[in-house]
Structure 1
Amino acid sequence: MASWLAFPDIIAVHVVSALFFKGTDSGFEISMAYKGYLGQPYFASLNGLRFFCILAVLWHHSPVNQLIKSPQLLDRGFVGVDFFFVLSGFLITTLLLREERLTGRISLAGFYSRRALRILPAYLLLVTLVSVYWIGIKGQDLLGLVPYYYTFLANFLKDDISLLSVTWSLSVEEQYYMLWPALLIVMPLSTRLRAGVLAGLIGLFLLTMLGLADWLDLPRLETAYAIFRLPGMSYTAILSGSLVAVLLHDPAGFRWLWRICAWRGAPLALFAGLLLYLQVTPGSLLGWPALGMNMLMALCVASIAMREDHELRPVLTFAPVARVGEISYGLYLYHLIGLHIANEMVSRSGLAQWQAAWAVTLVYPLISIALAEASFRGFERYFLLLRSRSASCAPKAAANR
């Protein structure tokens, strides 16, 4: 069995191979790969990527992570959400561009109906049940927060209802869904223009992270429960995914990214580079460090979407890994409930602090997976069937969604 000490050498070999042999693909081969990419109905490795994203989030909220002094990499499990954003931007933009290519137009009604059937059932169920529990049963004075959750404005809240704090990311995605498809429709069919707009928006949100609103002394809207201001890091991530989707949809952009991302070992090298980046990058990952991370994540997504025979495919398509990735939306929504249940169970066991922390860390993902699986099989799948019927005449470019 190969030693882990040899891992850097393996990465180095792949990087050198990319530098010296990237020119071996002919224009014809790249053209055929591009046609294959456009016709790819399902990206087989993306559920595996979702698995690792949700694994990072679960670790981030685990009691052991809160107690141990770990390497910086292990203290950055929160970036799993940013990777989800990049992936969402890539898939949604790919779906819209392929619909436009095949039908000559983008149907906002079709898009929003598919998104609603995927996102709303589990989300509204969670918000309703948790709100009833904490406000109606526990008697907490939090009723004023509820409308913000139902209208996907949770990312602006000053406070949270317990177990609903993770819904801020769903708010970011829904705001993106409201704006980006409409913006695509009004823009001319120009990859250069669309990529330029995305780059400009990424730059705007980068400046927001760096304090643009304070520099310009911009007014902000504040209510008793929320402060409305330009978000930064989360939008930079989701727009980075959209940018790589726009580039891959264009023959010239695909050809350029092929040289960087499409050799078989590229995912291994890029994911290793991302882990190294997260380990050595100092500070709070805001501003330029966040942009570098988002760009690396976008290249990682491109590397597993451009060709199906990459070297990480066996890991990312391993059945248990892919299944957890498939139900990762529900797992993300319900994992704080799983954590709450595990904490309640272990608190009655009389274990010492470290023992209890490890017990909860090991048990709560299993509870969360069980909740997500039950939700998927017994609730969400009925709406997904309706979604499939509504999309029967639409392109299936993003069947992963």
Structure 2
Amino acid sequence: MTSHSTYLNTRHFGSLDGLRFLCIAAVLWHHAPGARAYHQLDILLVRGHLGVDFFFVLSGFLITTLLLREDAAKGTISLRGFYWRRSLRILPVYFLVITLAGFNDIVLNGETEKAAILPYYYLFMANFIIPEHIGFLHPTWSLAMEEQYYLIWPLLLLLLPQRAIVPVLLGLIAVNVIAAMGLFSYVGITAVTVGDLRFSIGGATYAPILMGSLVAVILQSRRGFDAIAPLLQHKAAPWLCLAFLIFILSSLPKVLEGLPNLLIHTVMCLILITLVVREDNGLAGLMKLRLIARIGQISYGIYLYHLFARGAVVPVSMATGLDNFWLVLVAYSVLSIIVAELSFRFFESRFLALRHKKAETVS
């Protein structure tokens, strides 16, 4: 069994790249042309969008773990260092994709009315946009939510007394779930619309990010780790939790807002715990396969580029008569992976190389 000290000394959780692979595979399925034709076979096949929710759980866990470990090692959290590293990881490719998509719709396609909403993408407000999204940019709503979390959560961690962190997280999760259930409308709290933006958390999914953060806080403490890890360290635990997730995804009603989503996110958190409390977990052999791990490592790029790839593959498949669903799914997925790999090697890596050099001077 893994001890708490071993967990704290683990710098890279090897199975999490494999988890990213599963998340991005679900997203690719969800956005595949013609996938709706298969949705009637089993309600499980409609749930691909939950890959984004699992990404949220993972992000909340990793970011909070890094911040807590920095605080434990140095006695404080460097906000400048944190924002510098996050900016170099996220902004270059994100701004590139927004610029390319905006140029395609506004300039090449002449949809000049969309110029009014383009700045909101750069400001990470895509989750509040009311009009139809700029082509290829619909998935940026989730990145906007993550950036909002990145902006606020480290500051809260820095300012909150340690004893208040868990209650605050539980309170924020409760607020999100209550809002998703529409209960705030009964006390007169409704969305606020300003121009092309509608500010509301009713349909938002901040809860899984916060729940991932809660997992990090619990595991960071010896008491929390010793309470929960023994229950989930068995090698069969990842398989059992994954099977339970598949079961509830096949059993729950189509509308998941509120308590059903809370159950799903809780099971996602349990799966995450089974993968990090011991490196030789029952799924490690699969999760650490070279190809799977690599796709997981570049999943951020795949997420940003995959609609571009779909837009390139579909016209070709239709023109050549090779518009078979499975063929198109494989083709657009492979193209997404290739573009993301090239982007990572020749574009993103140039910025990532600056992270630790600069971080040493600002931390």
State how far apart, in whole Å, the 1-side matches of 2:271 and 2:205 are: 18
Note the 1:204-223 alignment, pairs <5 A.
Answer: 204-223=175-194
Describe the SS at the equivalent of 1:303: helix
Task: Kindly indicate whether the alpha-carbon contact (under 8 Å) linking 2:28 and 2:306 is maintained by their aligned counterparts in 1.
Answer: yes
* CA deviation map 1:28-76 (0-9, x unaligned): x66xx10011111111110000000000000011124222222111210
Which residue, 27, 30, 34 being the options, matches 1:60?
30
Q: Which amino acid aligns with 2:121?
A: Y
| Aligned match of 2:4 | 34
Note the 1:43-122 alignment, pairs <5 A.
Answer: 43-68=13-38, 69-122=40-93
Identity of aligned residues (%): 43
Task: Kindly indicate whether the alpha-carbon contact (under 8 Å) linking 1:63 and 1:358 is maintained by their aligned counterparts in 2.
Answer: no
* CA deviation map 1:143-190 (0-9, x unaligned): 011011000000011120010000000000000011111111111123
The question of 1:153 aligning with 2:121 is answered no
Describe the SS at the equivalent of 2:73: helix
Deviation of the 1:268 alpha carbon: 1.1
Which residue, 339, 345, 363 being the options, matches 1:377?
345
Which one has a bigger Cα radius of gyration?
A: 1
The question of 1:365 aligning with 2:358 is answered no
Deviation of the 1:219 alpha carbon: 4.9
Q: Which amino acid aligns with 2:262?
A: L
Gaps of 5+ in 1: 1-28, 396-401
* CA deviation map 1:89-146 (0-9, x unaligned): 0000000000000000011100000000000000000001110111011110200110
State how far apart, in whole Å, the 1-side matches of 2:225 and 2:267 are: 17
Gaps of 5+ in 2: none
Task: Kindly indicate whether the alpha-carbon contact (under 8 Å) linking 2:80 and 2:362 is maintained by their aligned counterparts in 1.
Answer: no
Describe the SS at the equivalent of 1:133: helix
Task: Kindly indicate whether the alpha-carbon contact (under 8 Å) linking 1:76 and 1:278 is maintained by their aligned counterparts in 2.
Answer: yes
State how far apart, in whole Å, the 1-side matches of 2:209 and 2:101 are: 28
Task: Kindly indicate whether the alpha-carbon contact (under 8 Å) linking 1:126 and 1:333 is maintained by their aligned counterparts in 2.
Answer: yes
Task: Kindly indicate whether the alpha-carbon contact (under 8 Å) linking 1:64 and 1:358 is maintained by their aligned counterparts in 2.
Answer: no
| Aligned match of 1:8 | none
Task: Kindly indicate whether the alpha-carbon contact (under 8 Å) linking 1:206 and 1:233 is maintained by their aligned counterparts in 2.
Answer: no
| Aligned match of 1:386 | 354
CA RMSD of aligned residues (A): 1.6
Task: Kindly indicate whether the alpha-carbon contact (under 8 Å) linking 1:88 and 1:238 is maintained by their aligned counterparts in 2.
Answer: yes
CA shift in 2, pair 1:42/1:233, >3 Å = same
Which residue, 191, 195, 204 being the options, matches 1:224?
195
State how far apart, in whole Å, the 2-side matches of 1:64 and 1:319 are: 30
TM superposition score normalised by structure 1: 0.87
Q: Which amino acid aligns with 1:228?
A: F
TM superposition score normalised by structure 2: 0.96
State how far apart, in whole Å, the 2-side matches of 1:163 and 1:134 are: 9
Describe the SS at the equivalent of 1:222: strand
Which residue, 307, 315, 325 being the options, matches 2:278?
307
Deviation of the 1:356 alpha carbon: 3.4
State how far apart, in whole Å, the 2-side matches of 1:334 and 1:63 are: 15
